[in-house]
Amino acid sequence: MMDPAVVINVARLGKTFGPVTAVEDLSFTVRAGEIFGLLGPNGAGKSTTLRMLITVLPPSAGTATVLGHDVVREADTVRSLIGYVPQERAVDRFLTGREHLELLGGLYHLSRTETNARIDELLKLVNLEEHADRVAKTYSGGMKRKLDIACGLLPNPRIVFLDEPTLGLDVQSRLKIWDYIRQLRENGITIVMTTNYLEEADQLCDRLAIIDGGTIRVIGSPLELKTGLGGDRLSVTIKEHETDTLPRLREGVMALPLVRDVRLKSGGLDILVESPEKSLPAVIEVAQRLDCSLDGIEYHRPRLDDVFVAHTGHGLRGGTPDTTEEE
């Protein structure tokens, strides 16, 4: 039986478009009330994965259940329980904000009174009350995105899927959208989102799956992932003519209580430490005691970038041009 805290269960999911494999052998779970992120470069297969979960794209292999319902066999039930905020500004330029929401009220089979009550509530949430009766072609990018989010929330879903929620937005709008997303989590809504912004993944997501070339490389909370790389690191270099003191220094440093591991590198040491604040003076002290003249010490705290590079072998911006996402 499924763990009640698990709201999405993905098992060996795959999708091919003709000869092209978009995603392969994906398995992960999403827990109730968390913000779960799919992080990866363009074309990694994030959107394809999301679209299988929202039932608009049938998987080629594997299964996925949303709130216990299979996305293929019980697609209609899944659709009535989720909300979706697409990547494109999927607004109709000729309709007003309110008309968008009214249309969706009809598509989710809400009564007129129910729809109107939801509309008032959502317009207030995303601060679009004043603009509700203007046609969407007069909206700014940020306003369109807000309307998109209101549309995704109209059915009062238990899970909301957001595809690149802040793509192409200015900084202010982005922060505003982050606020809404956090607010949703506070209201007990589970969020699944894709992003290719490291900062967004780091700041917003409770757990992340790093996806690249159609497969999941690693899953965990941003902190876990960063700690997984070894946590904080001191990088010590020795003056050039004194490199013969290195083995001595290595042994001395290794004996320090806050040091987890020490690796030799050319001309110095990489020291993985628990607390850089306390270990830094201790390392210097050891060096002085052992008569090693240091050339420099660098302190390095891993960022999500490093996690990404460590698991995919390349930076996020570089991407993998040979993988394709459906048009």
Partner 1 sequence: MTFQHYRQEVLALTMRWVRRLSREKFSMLFTLVQPMLFWLIFFGSLFQHAANIQVLQAPNYMSFLAGGVVVMTVLNNGLAGGVDLLFDKENGFLERMMSTPIHRSSVILSRYLFVMAITGMQILVILSIAFIFGVRLETGLPGIAVILVIGMLFGVGLTAISMALAFSVKSHGDFFSMLGFLSLPMIFLSSALVPLSAMPGWMQVVALVNPMTWVIDAVRPLIITGWDAAIPRVGMAFVILAIFDAVCLYGGAKAFRRAIG
Minimum distance of partner 1 from residue 101's CB (angstroms): 11
Cα dist. 156→2, 61, 78, 102, 206 in Å? Answer: 24, 30, 13, 14, 22
Token pair 């200015």: residue? 170
Minimum distance of partner 1 from residue 107's CB (angstroms): 4
Stretch 141-160: interaction string toward partner 1, x if CB under 8 A = ----------x---x-----
**Binding window for partner 1 (CB under 8 A); candidates: 8-16, 92-100, 216-224, 313-321:** 92-100
- Cα 53 from Cα 82, distance rounded (Å): 10
Q: According to CB under 8 A, which one of 61, 95, 254, 309 is a site residue for partner 1? A: 95
Toward partner 1, which CB reaches closer, 99 or 120? 99
Q: What are phi and psi of 164, to 5 degrees?
A: 45, 65
Q: Are 155 and 175 in contact (CB under 8 A)?
A: no
Toward partner 1, which CB reaches closer, 102 or 200? 102
Toward partner 1, which CB reaches closer, 103 or 219? 103
Q: Give yes or no for residue 88 binding partner 1 (CB under 8 A).
A: yes
- Cα 196 from Cα 317, distance rounded (Å): 9
Q: According to CB under 8 A, which one of 2, 3, 58, 301 is a site residue for partner 1? A: 58
Toward partner 1, which CB reaches closer, 1 or 94? 94
Q: According to CB under 8 A, which one of 54, 123, 211, 238 is a site residue for partner 1? A: 54
Chain CA centroid to CA 327, Å: 22
Minimum distance of partner 1 from residue 264's CB (angstroms): 53
Q: According to CB under 8 A, which one of 2, 56, 175, 223 is a site residue for partner 1? A: 56
- Cα 49 from Cα 24, distance rounded (Å): 10
- Neighbouring CB atoms inside 10 A of 326's CB total 12
Minimum distance of partner 1 from residue 83's CB (angstroms): 8
Token pair 């989010």: residue? 149
Toward partner 1, which CB reaches closer, 22 or 246? 22
Minimum distance of partner 1 from residue 32's CB (angstroms): 21
Please spell the DSSP secondary structure of 45-84, one letter per residue. SHHHHHHHHTTSS--SEEEEEETTEETTTTHHHHHHHEEE
**Binding window for partner 1 (CB under 8 A); candidates: 34-42, 98-106, 211-219, 291-299:** 98-106
Q: Give yes or no for residue 318 binding partner 1 (CB under 8 A).
A: no
Q: Give yes or no for residue 313 binding partner 1 (CB under 8 A).
A: no
Q: Are 104 and 155 in contact (CB under 8 A)?
A: yes
Residues in contact with partner 1, counted by CB under 8 A, come to a total of: 34
The closest of 26, 44, 14 to 315, measured between CA atoms, is 44
Q: Give yes or no for residue 82 binding partner 1 (CB under 8 A).
A: yes
Q: Which stretches of the chain are DSSP H helices?
A: 46-53, 75-81, 97-107, 112-125, 141-153, 171-186, 198-204, 222-228, 246-254, 276-289, 304-312
Q: According to CB under 8 A, which one of 4, 94, 130, 281 is a site residue for partner 1? A: 94
Q: Which residues of this protein are in contact with partner 1, per CB under 8 A?
A: 51, 54-58, 76-77, 79-80, 82, 84, 86-92, 94-95, 99, 102-109, 135, 151, 155, 327
